[in-house]
Structure 1
Amino acid sequence: MGAEGCEEKSSEVNPENVPMGFVPLVQPEILAYLNPFSSMNMVSYNKTETELPLLPKRTGHPYQSRQQPLQKKPRTSFTKTQVQILENRFKDQKYLASMERSVLAAQLKMTDAQVKTWFQNRRTKWRRQEAEARDNEVRTVFRFVNSYRNQLADLNQTS
């Protein structure tokens, strides 16, 4: 079926003779080129829904469709000496400048990235510990206040 056949058929259709609500039948080859979301492209198609071409489903975040690396990088373990030096440095200084980080990495025979990651992870742990300590202090104060309030209530009842 060529373009000439389409022209002949389209020239035969008179809009005045088309019944209200009529939706023209479109060839399956043409259907693929129509925008399915456009109200202008309403078509009648004699196939069931399962036979219609489906749009690819979008699920999740776009980066989820990335292929996973073949092997996960093994966890890096540090010596006790390295960890002790890193911990001591962290007590004094929570953030290192890039030059300080490079010097420390060379001293510990670690990469710059390893030291950077260690400090990032340690700061996260430190923040969590600080938050837990604050929560414990608040709980202690509430316990004290409740205990004091209960003692006052007991005194008021006995008097």
Structure 2
Amino acid sequence: MTSIARSLRPAASRLLASSRSSQPCRACPFAARAFSASRAAHVKKYSKDHEWVELSADNKTAIVGISEYAANALGDVVYVELPTVPLEVAAGDSIGAVESVKSASDIISPITCKVTAVNSLLEEKPGSINNGPEDDSSAGGWVAKVEVPEAGVKDFEGLMDAETYKEFTEE
């Protein structure tokens, strides 16, 4: 591995030197273009009730679920009651419930929204919520997809970011 890095070092130096010059590099036209693999299109925030919301970049849709902290506190989930579709709710309204071997807990909507879809996988495999409570993929533990009105965007602004939520759960 070290020998590969040594052999590439001179080529990398020439590439960097040519990309810094005022003339574009003809051999590598892509050098001036930067790519990013970050997920800046969505912003995730958390409520004091241990739900998360991932708002889309256009502030029109979001995904709601319970936090990893809540899933760990509940233990093995054996039943998930999903909201009905469509369902309009205000921030703080119950949209479902989670039952585990330890306890049961309501799923509280952290924002004002309209439920447009639910994760029906949770009815068949409620344990999916333990495996990936903050996973918004088709196999994840997200609970609902929602449309977000202006009031919901304002609710979202009042929620905690990941760092603040982590501090909140450590108290």
Give the shorter-chain TM-score range: under 0.3
Higher relative contact order (CA 8 A, sep 6+): 2
* TM-score under structure 1 length normalisation: 0.19
* TM-score under structure 2 length normalisation: 0.18
Bigger Rg over Cα: 1
Answer 1 or 2: which has greater helix percent: 1
Answer 1 or 2: which has greater strand percent: 2
